[in-house]
Amino acid sequence: MNERLHQAILSDGLLVGFAVTGVVMWASYWVSTHVTRGRIHGSAIAVFVGLVMAYVGGVVTGGKNGIADIPSLAGIGLLGGPMLRDFAIVATAYGATFQDLRRSGAAVLVSLSFGLVVPFLCGGLVAVAFGYHDAVSITTIGCGGVTYIVGAVTGAALGAKSEVIALSIATGLVKAIAVMILTPAIAKRIGLNNPHTAMVYGGLLGTHSGVGAGLAATDPRLVPYGLMVSTFYTGFGCLLGPSAFYFLTRIAFPV
């Protein structure tokens, strides 16, 4: 009996994902209205609850996929996986306008350039401060400051040590999580309430998951603008990391 029920849950994983996520959303909006009196938006709380669940999942299973590593909750991984995520992101573009995109061309290019170089420098400098003095490790950890995908790709391309790659990925994860939590909190202060600023934000912060979740928690209508730009961020990062960033780092730290 028990075995059979368990099997049913496993094969209907996506439905479990819908059900659990719906409960999380409801609880988060309830807390937002009744506990924080609307000061913290429900969507921001929901994303935070998701991260806490991911931490708990990691502690319980020791795996890398958060709560989705618990077999009966694997459906959450399906719901939040790359396929449905990209599908829903593209859907958000319905209602966005070309005029808003076109006006911001110059700002987008500038923000993408600074958005790639500045986090790389930050990550690289921290690596140097913590005693890494070879160009491969510095570049790999610096690229983790761009996004964890850029960090992993660059580390693999340069043949970095596996603990350095792990550190680089962790740096990128800290960035993504920080962006998810900080975006709704600082949105007002940096004027993040229009398509133009959302695009600049997407270019500067770049981490797809962070920007998407952060903007969704701020104002869902900003999501397509921010993600439209940040979709190019990781790609260009993977292009620059093992090439330009590495060569420049080697000039500064010849070994």
Partner 1 sequence: MVIYGVSLLALCSLAGLLLGEALGYLLGVKSNVGGVGFAMLLLMFLTGWMARHGKFKPVSAEGLRFWSAMYLPIVVAMAAQQNVLGAVKGGWVALFGGLAAVTASILLVPLINRIGLEKHHRESDWNPIPEEDRK
Residues found in the chain: 255
Q: Rule CB under 8 A: choose which of 136, 158, 165, 205 binds partner 1.
A: 205
* 85 vs 250, beta carbon nearer partner 1: 85
Stretch that binds partner 1, among 1-9, 198-206, 244-252 (CB under 8 A): 198-206
- Number of residues forming the site for partner 1 (CB under 8 A): 128
Q: Which stretch binds partner 1 (CB under 8 A): 2-10, 58-66, 246-254?
A: 58-66
Based on its alpha-carbon atoms, the radius of gyration of the chain, rounded to whole angstroms, reads 20
- State yes or no: residue 87 binds partner 1 (CB under 8 A): yes
Binders in 105-124 for partner 1, by CB under 8 A: 105-107, 110-111, 114-115, 118-119, 121-123
Selected from 136, 184, 223, 246, the binder of partner 1 by CB under 8 A is 223
Q: By CB under 8 A, is residue 97 in contact with partner 1?
A: yes
Q: Which of 9, 40, 85, 253 is in the footprint of partner 1 by CB under 8 A? A: 85
Q: Is 90 in the site for partner 1 (CB under 8 A)?
A: yes
Whichever of 22 and 71 has its CB closer to partner 1, that residue is 22
Shortest Cβ distance from residue 34 to partner 1 (Å)?
Answer: 14
Return the ∠ at Cα 49 (arms to 46 and 53), rounded to 5°. 140
Contacts of 119 (CB under 8 A, 6+ apart): 142, 145, 146, 175, 206
Give every CB contact of residue 138 below 8 A, 6+ residues apart in sequence.
124, 127, 128, 132, 249, 253
Q: How far is CA 40 from the centre of its chain?
A: 20
We find the least distance from the C-beta atom of residue 8 to partner 1, in angstroms, to be 21
Minimum CB distance to partner 1 smaller for 1 or for 220 = 220
* DSSP SS3 for 189: coil
69 by Cβ neighbours in 10 Å (0-12 / 13-18 / 19+) ranks as: middle
Ranges within 227-246 binding partner 1 (CB under 8 A): 227-229, 231-232, 234-236, 238-239
Q: Is 41 in the site for partner 1 (CB under 8 A)?
A: yes
CA distance 163 to 161: 6
Q: Is 96 helix (H, G, I), strand (E, B) or coil?
A: strand
List the interface residues with partner 1, window 127-186 (CB under 8 A).
127, 129-130, 141, 144-146, 149, 153, 156-157, 166-167, 169-180, 182, 186
User: Which residues, 15 to 34, sit near partner 1 by CB under 8 A?
Assistant: 17-18, 21-22, 24-25, 29
Q: H-type helices in the chain, by residue range?
A: 2-11, 13-34, 42-61, 74-79, 82-92, 98-102, 105-129, 135-144, 148-158, 162-186, 195-205, 208-218, 223-240, 246-252
In angstroms, give the least distance from the CB of 242 to partner 1: 9
